[in-house]
């Protein structure tokens, strides 16, 4: 997608420091974090919303969720707990129409 900010990040058109990158996924810090740890996990493949996923995306979704677990451990939030979220559609709070997973946590004493 020509106007997709996440596609531009994935393609290197917008400089971003990746926390993780492989052939299918990238991960980077959210520019407007709502918690001490707020990481976005983004497939390199453009899928505009969770509504658009299909059976052929099963492996990619599994990889993304396992990456969330790995990053939670890396960021040292796994033991106390964290949130994994996917906003779907405008009414669901989706602001960027490229599928992505939010990894959110790091509060002292619990969720805010």
Q: Which residues are catalytic?
A: 100
- 3-state class percentages of the chain: helix first, strand second, coil last, to nearest 5: 30, 20, 50
Residue 68: how many other CB atoms lie within 10 Å: 20
Q: Which two tokens stand for residue 14?
A: 């917008």
Q: Which two tokens stand for residue 26?
A: 């990238």
Total number of residues shown for the chain: 112
């Amino acid at each position: 997608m020509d106007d997709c900010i996440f596609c531009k990040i994935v393609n290197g058109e917008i400089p971003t420091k990746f926390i993780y990158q492989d052939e299918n996924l990238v991960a980077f810090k959210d520019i407007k974090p709502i918690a001490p740890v707020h990481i976005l996990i983004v497939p390199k493949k453009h899928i505009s919303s969770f509504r658009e996923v299909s059976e052929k995306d099963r492996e990619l979704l599994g990889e993304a969720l396992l990456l969330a677990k790995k990053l939670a451990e890396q960021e040292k939030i796994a033991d106390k707990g964290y949130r994994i979220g996917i906003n779907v559609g405008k009414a669901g709070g989706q602001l960027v129409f490229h599928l992505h997973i939010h990894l959110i946590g790091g509060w002292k004493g619990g969720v805010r």
